[in-house]
Amino acid sequence: MIISRVVDIVRAKGGTITREPGPVKGGDSNIAVIEDPDGYKFELLERAPCPEPLCKVMLRVGDLDRSIKFYEKAVGLELLRKQDNPGSKCTVAIMGYGPEEKSTVLELTSNYGVTTYDKGDAYAQITIGTDDVYKTAEAIKLAGGKITHAGPVPGYKTKITSCVDPDGWKT
């Protein structure tokens, strides 16, 4: 669905549009930004047809190089591209397990001069599949992450490794 239709639906239901659909400066995709009733903003990204409807997850990070190394070492993401955006006063790193146009990616955004972010009362968590939660826990520790749980989840037939990355995001 093209984002202009999504924006029309959001507007019809009383939602707030903080950026009307349009091209990304210096890019070839279209974006719009909407805001939910709690004030959380969502970027809608229109791109070429893709098997994954979720295009990307974006995290703001204080030290981009540290975060790139963490996600490479901890969970095996590959740096697909890094782009400096002087007009937006930020640098982004796109990381993924496959080509950006065919899979969901993680965008790490570092704003010029900002090293910490107030996450307020929001809750954000990234989930990544693994064959061995214990080996993943060791990789996360070696990459500088803090393990908060590794092993069976009480009441569920699954095992997880939970950690906090160097910027405090839960994975």
- Which residues participate in catalysis according to the annotation? 43
| Nearest-angstrom CA–CA distance, 27 and 2 | 17
Judging by DSSP bridges, how do beta strands 105-111 and 56-60 pair with one another?
Answer: parallel
Query: What gap in Å lies between CA 171 and CA 166, rounded to an integer?
Result: 11
Dist CA 163 CA 97 (whole Å): 20
Instruction: Report which of 62, 171, 52, 39 is spatially closest to residue 105, judged by C-alpha positions.
Output: 52
- Distance CA(51)–CA(104), nearest Å, equals 9
